[in-house]
Structure 1
Amino acid sequence: METALKGRRILDLTRVLAGPYCSMILGDLGAEVIKIEAPGGSDETRFWGPPFKNGVSSYFLCANRNKKSLTVNLKKPEGREIIEKLVRTSDVVIHNFKTGTMEKLGLGYDRLKEIHPGLVYCSITGFGETGPYRDRPGYDFIIQAMSGLMSITGDEHSGPQKFGVAITDILTGLYACIGIQAALLEREASGTGQKIDLSLFDSAVSALVNIGSNYLMTGELPSRLGSRHANIVPYQSFSTKDGEIVIAVGNDRQFMKLVSMLGLPSLGLDPKFRTNAARVENRKELSAILQNLFLQEKKSFWENACQKQEIPFGPIQTMEDVRKDQQLKDREMFIRMQHPKAGDTAIIGSPLKLSKTPVSYRSSPPEPGADSASILSEIGYDEDEIQQLKQGEII
């Protein structure tokens, strides 16, 4: 089967989530990804849990499929020599060491581009390689706090809240994928690679989108609105007799359909609610009226009613609900892979549906060093040399 990135080799010196998530996507698209760790395995997520299955962390499994594993001691010259040899046949190097670490190891961009001028080199750090924060370590939680994301998440009673997942890591991983593929495309024209300097902080701030734009335009600090939208009303959750639902009315026509369905068409003609701008101004009053109406029936009733009227609707689902959702089953968003230690394992699949070059799931997340011998053999090491590297704790 043809894949979009077939023939591309990625050296992945990242750990935890942002970098591994990026390289997993590249692997799903067909690239050969070689995950580099210290001997014994140095990606912290291998040890994050519970849950574990036969000693394997579910966290590690979420971002490391379609990779080979090579363990190398980068603190020793023999280990750095291995990386340099691999760079000669690689398209991309990704790392998320602190600013300056790769340079101290002799593996910075200036050095590696001498070995391979066509190399695309992606540096992922907490705050970027320039600016007063460049030497600070960056963790998703810290970045969520500093970027403003937490200040707008939650409601007036909860105080600032973090996202339920490490959203800045995920965003940074996606930006890294975009940047890497853009650099590979540019290389086809120029013949040379380039460096990508990507930070979690920048990525998180970019995700402020409309809220950030609202502030920059007005200078008014945004309030925490919970499930409510800053610019659109009604666009929020409501309680029903048996759970919570979300209504997303995007225009005045949909609002008229909603209030007619609810048996109060006069609301759509009321000057306080007739336009979205008016509804935003009178948000509290309208939300209270709608909430009382939604409490009169169950979720299933409102789902059917909204579908008939083409009103954007969705139940707030638990993970169990999501796992059972037929739409996601049909879209193959949950897959099973055989892991050498964990056995048959369910993981979340890729959302990328390419008609000509679909993603592929070729290998489960690897055990540390599982492919060291075969990779080293490919770049010229014989069996005796590989054994000497093992004995010297180089691999």
Structure 2
Amino acid sequence: MGHLAASEALKRFRVIDLTQVRAGPTACRQLADWGADVIQVQMPEHMRGDDTLGGQDGSDYQYTHRNKRSITLNLKESEGIAALKRLIATADVVVENFRPDVKYRLGIDYESLAADHPGLVYASISGFGQTGPYATRPGFDQIAQGMSGLMSITGVPGEAPMRVGIPIADLCAGIFAAQGILVALLERESSGKGQWLHTSLFESMIYMLDFQTSRFLIDGEVAQQAGNFHPTSIPTGVYKARDGYMNIAVFGSKIWERFCNIMGAPEWVSDERYHDKASRSINRDSLNAQINERLASQDRSYWIAKFNEGGVACGVINDMGEVFKDPQTQHLNIVKTVVSPRLGEQRMVGQPVQLTRTPSTIVRSAPLRGEHSEEILKTLGYDDAVLVQMKSLGVY
């Protein structure tokens, strides 16, 4: 069947995916969703360990590896490495998330490959970086969340540090790696040269702390937990109406005035406890108590209508089922459908960026391990007799 491009945008690029678990596969999924020919290299069935992401038939694996092809190669054998290098010679990009030393031992590090393939863009994703005192440590999402400082500012004040409810370090590292790959491919158009780029879960999380890092690096302020409330913009957080919880976000003096009028409390604007940002920060608890007291008189739908009419940001707090029933979710058409030959119709979230001329879609369900091995190897010049021999020797 060959390559099925999910978009025309990156159709001309081939990516060799040497990754596993989540961060690396996420980077490659980003490229596959925009049309790149992503070839996932996996260990042969007889050598595989426990399946990651819940097994190949699991929803997590299916979501992460859509729009890719799969080849199996035994990288412990010289024939497997040779086949991989032949495959890489046809590619624009290699993505790997081995321990930093493994690629050198296998002879598939950037310097070794670039000697024969100077246009190669080579992306490495690790837990803590390619060098430094932690470079050889195993890196996992929750470890990065904790060491980056994210968990120290997440959760209810006075309680234990709290992880974010998604693997945010993995996902961000993967998305940043994909962004770096695209930057390198753009630069290659002028220089004709590839390059090595690398990121890590740890770096990605430090970057994602955003204004919290500037609060420390510029202002010297060590952020603390703020629970469901914004640490610096007050009132912004989770509040309770008569029939349940909702979010309200009040940013700036003009919106603060609008909010007070909607709440039926115009006196808050001039109240010395609340009249400016600093005062509201000091008196956060008393203000929040008064807000909740007034909200309790009506249902969320009433307040949402009032706030939206007045230009104050607000919204319900949906569970997963409610998210996908939401009319705006349905209008945005972010849920795509693909048919798996084995598992039937599957619904998945597509890309959150809409390109009007070269949109992304899902054209292929996640492949079985090695589903496209022979198809790909034949394009590299291996004939049937050689493939039989390679298979008998466990090369693929």
Note whether the superposition's TM-score is higher than 0.5: yes
Q: How does 1:62-77 map to 2 (within 5 A)?
A: 62-77=63-78
Corresponding position of 1:376:
377
SS state at 2:139 partner: coil
When residues 224 and 137 of structure 1 are mapped into structure 2, their CA distance, relative to the original with a 3 A threshold, is same
Other-structure match for 1:183:
184
Measure how far apart 1:193 and its partner are. Answer: 0.4
Partner of 1:146: 147
Distance, in Å, in 1 between the alignment partners of 2:322 and 2:157 is 29
Aligned ranges 1:6-155 → 2 under 5 Å: 6-40=11-45, 46-49=51-54, 56-155=57-156
Q: Is the 8 A contact 2:11 2:36 kept in 1?
A: yes
1:362 counterpart residue number: 363
Could you list the per-position Cα deviations for residues 250-282 of structure 1 after superposition, in whole angstroms to 9, with x for gaps in the alignment? 111111111111111110121322222322232
Q: Does 1:296 align with 2:297?
A: yes
Q: Any idea what SS the aligned residue of 2:64 has?
A: coil
* Aligned-residue offset at 1:331: 1.2
68-77 vs 285-294, which moves further: 285-294
Q: Which residue of 2 aligns with 1:269?
A: 270
Tell me the distance in 2 between the aligned counterparts of 1:105 and 1:289: 64
**Aligned amino acid, residue 19 of structure 2:** T
Is the CA contact (8 Å cut-off) linking 1:17 and 1:63 kept in structure 2?
Answer: yes
Amino acid at match of 1:285: S
State yes or no: 1:239 paired with 2:245. no
Q: Separation in 2 of the partners of 1:363 and 1:43?
A: 23
What is aligned with 1:286?
287
Contact 2:21 2:53 in 1 (8 A): no
**How many residue pairs were aligned?**
391
CA contact (8 A) 2:337 2:362 kept: no
Q: By how many angstroms is 1:341 displaced?
A: 2.3
Matches of 2:332 and 2:164 in 1, distance apart? 25
Root-mean-square deviation over aligned CA pairs: 1.7
Q: Give CA deviations for 1:72-98 in whole Å, capped at 9, x if unaligned.
A: 111100000111101111000000011
Q: Does 1:198 align with 2:203?
A: no
Q: Is the 8 A contact 2:155 2:161 kept in 1?
A: yes
TM-score normalised to the size of structure 1?
Answer: 0.95
Instruction: Look up the SS of the partner of 2:122 in the other structure.
Output: strand
What amino acid maps onto 1:29 in structure 2?
W
Scaled by the length of structure 2, the TM-score of the pair is 0.95
CA distance in 2, matches of 1:103, 1:6: 30
Aligned-pair CA distance for 1:217: 2.7
SS in 2 for 1:357: coil
Deviates more, 1:361-370 or 1:275-284: 275-284
Q: Which deviates more, 279-288 or 15-24?
A: 279-288
Query: Which residue does the alignment assign to 2:336?
Result: 335
8 A contact 1:93–1:122 mirrored in 2: yes
Distance 2:378 2:230 in 1: 56
Q: Distance in 2 between matches of 1:234 and 1:260?
A: 14
- Taking a change above 3 Å as real, the CA distance of residues 43 and 227 of structure 1, as seen in their structure-2 partners, is farther
Offset, 1:286: 1.1
Deviation at 1:64, TM superposition (A): 0.9
Task: Tell me what 2:320 maps to.
Answer: 319
Structure 2 vs 1, CA of residues 42 and 360 (structure 1 numbering), >3 Å: closer, same or farther? farther
* CA positional deviation for 1:157: 4.2
